[in-house]
Structure 1
């Protein structure tokens, strides 16, 4: 682990050289693939030539190659044999995406990320006793592809677990036969049964689903908090959604100043960031030697067909960028859909600021997910509230009425006043977003937000109805249409 920290320090110190070398390796490896021949990878000598020749692609542009790979064809996007696909529907797509997981991406990206998480953690907390117990992770499930029985598809967590080396499998709980169950409610009950007797020292997963499991453990055991079940618990490695709104929720479940939290940035497409400092909420080191070459689309160009993407040496602090990746899984100049903001350029650290398709801009207010999460966290802090989940959408202008935003919030602990919660939410948005503030000035374009407290189980009910319980599925925080909000409201 100390050796790996030295390697991480090297890419902190020489980020551009590491990315340049990685880029050359990707291009060289893929030059004889069908994609590589199409775009002349054999004689690409610079990143500039790469950007001029190879278009930026959404999933839809790569899908014809992915579909053929699913059916068993080889050497299309990447030369290695592909036997696993991460099935991802994100938060909104009804149609699943199938992301190739090559041996290289599994070993040099996903597994490397997991090992680096442990290396960074024990480097930050050398007094850790993490390895005296087991790590609990909530996985998804996988099954043979409908295209080819020799190829398996599933949540990326399931793909990773199924391929773990024996030493890693021995360090985790629950066993595979439980972790990979596909019926969520049955899985939760079985996980409670088999994990409670274990000495669990770490948790990893999506905060929303981890909370569901921990709450069920307390119901079954009759304990007051999780430390009465697992007294040696010391780490929760979390990702997929910002942790700010959930921090107080987990403090109540795990009431200890010795409990540590680390943010990670992983997705079906790869593992991208790890929090490498103590007490820096949501800020992560961009991992530069995982077989992923990064480019960044500036805000304002997100929806252009062929925007001008910047390289790492061209980014600026505090600005929003959409991530574009080229990877050792054969994703070439692929628009990931996430937006990030740089908090440091030496070394390169990022915060996830949202999704390119998740925002509210019905009236020019340009509210992004990060704005919403900061405002909700502040409103909870000032009113004593604790939330489980939320979503928001516009209220459109009609018959001379002003527009606005409508919020659905499922509270674990109600605010002392919903009216005051709404006021703090609104005021915080005005403080951190000048466009929103301008539209709210004297209610010129936007009226005050409308906030509904929805019953417990509302969001899980919506996910259940859409067949998205467990795994990495999550509720869209913001939408520029009312589709999701009205679907959820219909269940109330």
Structure 2
């Protein structure tokens, strides 16, 4: 055992004991986080605008501060960009995390001195808790790769600005710097395919032990490695043992990733975003991700069906129930207040508080009142695929609205690694699964208002070609599982089989 893995053992045990203690104090920690946030916010522009001096508890907070999306925060962000201090949080942000929204264009999410530890320490804790549970510390002695955005930063209003993954890259602890790949020069390459070629060249001869990224882009990396070497990943990297992922549901990609590797490896799921690092997988043996209840973020939960209501129900952690689909609302020490991050979650445990991510508030199909969500389509497709020995590369779903009673349907665009022998029978099976999961969809099909779903198969790399065509290949970009219109669908037909 080398020095790094040896030293990691006691530190991992210490962090794990702290995490376990935090499981028992989650409600008290949320109360303390709330009080701390409000104390600081009272002297800001936002605090004065919303009379936070009069706010003392979540109930009065709900009265004072409505739920907002980025557009409603934009006037405050513009003040910060103009050089003003104490706008949303004390002082000025140390970074803007630059991200793109479907309706808001470029978004600038503030990161402060107080909020940066949430991003860095949560990623660290996910690895250390894994080490403590499994005893696997050996990966700390080899090379680690984080498929991330460019660490080069521009300045917006004098504030360093870039992709979150690039910002975090600047805060990788010194003891991991010598392990980290790719190098800085490679990481700065903007074009994804050029960057991927450089990453493959830089890593193919290395002792890679941990690989982190969003699943579709890890798959591209593995495909390129196999094409270059003719070997499965496990043969190239015999000590590779940990795969860290987030951003999209892992299950649709799992079978193909493990096949590329040459067998299963341990995986650690994370739930990071520019707005905060919300949860992480704390056990290889328990379902769900542990909610980050003591890391500068105060959580509220809105029943997903109410998120676009004028006065939705807003619950604190002590009010939630297992199995209910909630929109996630956050207030944090970066200066976001009752902010709708756009993700939906369900609790799978309340002791401790563990969640699964179920989709996006804006990614659903309800062209006919069915309100089908991402979790339902993923589970319906995967169940049929597992039963029929089918392997899925990627997919998305959109409504096909046609004139005439009972002529409309949901169109599923699917790229298969291993296609079904009978596509029509497979589509019927997926449709039956979805009808079991969503009673509104079932009523519409049963009432002949909708036809059963149809599958349009895309040729190999069809989704990659689509992402390339819109300039969003690589990095943290991903195809939405669901759309309530045909914008994506009408482009994807160019790559149908």
The question of a shared fold, defined as TM-score above 0.5 by the shorter chain, is answered with yes
Residues 1:131 and 2:118 are matched in the alignment = no
The answer for the alignment partner of 1:151 in structure 2 is: 159
Residues 1:236 and 2:236 are matched in the alignment = no
Q: Please say which of residues 421-430 and 266-275 is displaced more in the overlay.
A: 421-430
The answer for the alignment partner of 1:269 in structure 2 is: 275
The answer for the alignment partner of 1:106 in structure 2 is: 116
The answer for the alignment partner of 1:122 in structure 2 is: 131
The answer for the alignment partner of 1:300 in structure 2 is: 305
Deviation at 1:464, TM superposition (A): 1.8
Structure 2: runs of 5+ lacking an equivalent: 1-11
Contact persistence 1:361–1:367 (CA under 8 A): yes
Q: Please say which of residues 33-42 and 306-315 is displaced more in the overlay.
A: 33-42
Residues 1:406 and 2:411 are matched in the alignment = yes
Structure 1: runs of 5+ lacking an equivalent: none
The answer for the alignment partner of 2:65 in structure 1 is: 54
Number of equivalenced pairs: 485
The answer for the alignment partner of 1:278 in structure 2 is: 284
The answer for the alignment partner of 2:49 in structure 1 is: 38
The answer for the alignment partner of 1:341 in structure 2 is: 346
Contact persistence 2:151–2:165 (CA under 8 A): no
Give the secondary-structure state (helix, strand or coil) at the position aligned to 2:344: strand
Give the secondary-structure state (helix, strand or coil) at the position aligned to 1:390: strand
The answer for the alignment partner of 1:213 in structure 2 is: 221
Deviation at 1:164, TM superposition (A): 2.6
Contact persistence 1:297–1:324 (CA under 8 A): yes
Match of 1:377 among 368, 379, 382: 382
Match of 1:12 among 16, 19, 23: 23
| 1:267-325 deviation per Cα after TM superposition (whole angstroms, max 9, x unaligned) | 111111111222456x1111111111000111321111342311111111111110000
The answer for the alignment partner of 2:194 in structure 1 is: 186
Distance of 2:360 and 2:279 partners within structure 1: 16
Distance of 1:478 and 1:434 partners within structure 2: 18
The answer for the alignment partner of 2:427 in structure 1 is: 422
Q: Please say which of residues 345-354 and 35-44 is displaced more in the overlay.
A: 35-44
Contact persistence 2:406–2:448 (CA under 8 A): no
Q: 1:67 and 1:144, CA in 2 relative to 1: closer, same or farther beyond 3 A?
A: farther
The answer for the alignment partner of 1:431 in structure 2 is: 436
| 1:85-142 deviation per Cα after TM superposition (whole angstroms, max 9, x unaligned) | 112225x4471211112122212x1001111111221122114422121221111125
Give the secondary-structure state (helix, strand or coil) at the position aligned to 2:451: coil
Contact persistence 1:56–1:306 (CA under 8 A): no
Match of 2:173 among 145, 165, 169: 165
Deviation at 1:31, TM superposition (A): 2.1
Give the secondary-structure state (helix, strand or coil) at the position aligned to 2:444: helix
Match of 1:473 among 477, 485, 493: 477
Residues 1:309 and 2:300 are matched in the alignment = no
Residues 1:484 and 2:493 are matched in the alignment = no
Q: 1:106 and 1:351, CA in 2 relative to 1: closer, same or farther beyond 3 A?
A: same
Deviation at 1:178, TM superposition (A): 1.2
Give the secondary-structure state (helix, strand or coil) at the position aligned to 2:115: helix
Match of 2:33 among 22, 34, 52: 22
Q: 1:134 and 1:44, CA in 2 relative to 1: closer, same or farther beyond 3 A?
A: same
Contact persistence 2:141–2:179 (CA under 8 A): no
Distance of 2:295 and 2:421 partners within structure 1: 46
RMSD: 1.8
Contact persistence 2:13–2:129 (CA under 8 A): no
Deviation at 1:231, TM superposition (A): 0.6
Deviation at 1:147, TM superposition (A): 4.1
Residues 1:95 and 2:96 are matched in the alignment = no
Contact persistence 2:30–2:293 (CA under 8 A): yes
| 1:50-83 deviation per Cα after TM superposition (whole angstroms, max 9, x unaligned) | 1211121111111111122233322111114323
Deviation at 1:406, TM superposition (A): 0.3
Distance of 2:152 and 2:200 partners within structure 1: 24
Distance of 1:48 and 1:10 partners within structure 2: 27
Deviation at 1:144, TM superposition (A): 4.9
Contact persistence 1:155–1:471 (CA under 8 A): no
